[in-house]
Amino acid sequence: MSDASGSSSTSVLRLILWPALITLAVTLLRLVGELWQWSPKLFSREAGGAGALVGIVWLIPVFGVYFAVRLCREGERPQSVGRALAMAGLAFVLNTALGFGSFALVKSPAGQLAIFTVISWLAIAIAWPGWPALGRVLLAYAVSARLPVLVIMFASIFGGLDTHYAKPRPDFPAMGPWGLFFWTALLPQFSVWIYLTIVGGLIFGCLAAFLVRGRSASA
């Protein structure tokens, strides 16, 4: 099967099933660790998570590589791995530059989030054509990973749980739970985090595809 024909819904679901279950398990472990106030280095309750070691963001490169290798073995390689990597890299650089620019020009946290939402999907649109088959798998995985987080954030915000899921950054303006849920949960979970999963996964996946091709050539 060529990359142009794309992956069927069944094959995408088959590819993401175990990664989605593993990601859900890590998400639930993170929640339990915060509620039981385990080690802050592993389960930080600070706003933004403070780079805690237990978190699903660290799974992006792992599953980006996994999905890429599986697709390559099934004949779903991109037309040009180098082009796909360049497009994903360009998307990352553009998003980073525009993101820092928004922080410099726009001081409102809500305004910054709105800009991040737009440029995140712009970056995805730039990276996607490089390897559409991998993009589809990563999009499905991203949604499966972020929906449980959204549910936990809803419970944390409306239930007053002491977790990082309910805490906006310190300079965020005071607002009611619905406003907080929209700006700090719904919007970033389905823009910034989708972008990181797809573009980050494409970058690591393309690097893995280079290695797979090198091994095939040696064989």
Task: Please list, residue by residue across 23-54, b when 16 or more beta carbons sit within 10 angstroms of its beta carbon and e when fewer do.
Answer: bbebbebbbebbeeeeeeeebbbeeebeebeb
pLDDT for 218 beyond 60: no
Give me the number of domains the chain comprises.
Answer: 1
Per-residue confidence (pLDDT) for residue 8, from 0 to 100:
62
Lowest mean per-residue pLDDT among 20-29, 48-57, 145-154, 155-164: 48-57
Domain that holds residue 67: 3-218
pTM of the model: 0.91
Q: pLDDT tens digits for 103-161?
A: 888 888 888 899 999 999 999 999 999 999 999 999 999 999 999 999 999 999 999 99
For the beta carbon of residue 209, count every other beta carbon within 10 angstroms.
Answer: 23
Q: State what percent of residues in the chain have pLDDT above 70.
A: 92
Model confidence at 51, pLDDT cuts 50, 70, 90, reads confident
SS (H, E, C) the chain: CCHHHCCCHHHHHHHHHHHHHHHHHHHHHHHHHHHCCCCCCCCCCCHHHHHCCCCHHHHHHHHHHHHHHHHHHCCCCCCCHHHHHHHHHHHHHHHHHHHHHHHHHCCCHHHHHHHHHHHHHHHHHHHHHHCHHHHHHHHHHHHHHHHHHHHHHHHHHHHCCCCHHHCCCCCCCCCCHHHHHHHHHHHHHCCHHHHHHHHHHHHHHHHHHHHHHHHHHHC
What residue has token string 């990276």? 127
Per-residue confidence (pLDDT) for residue 152, from 0 to 100:
97
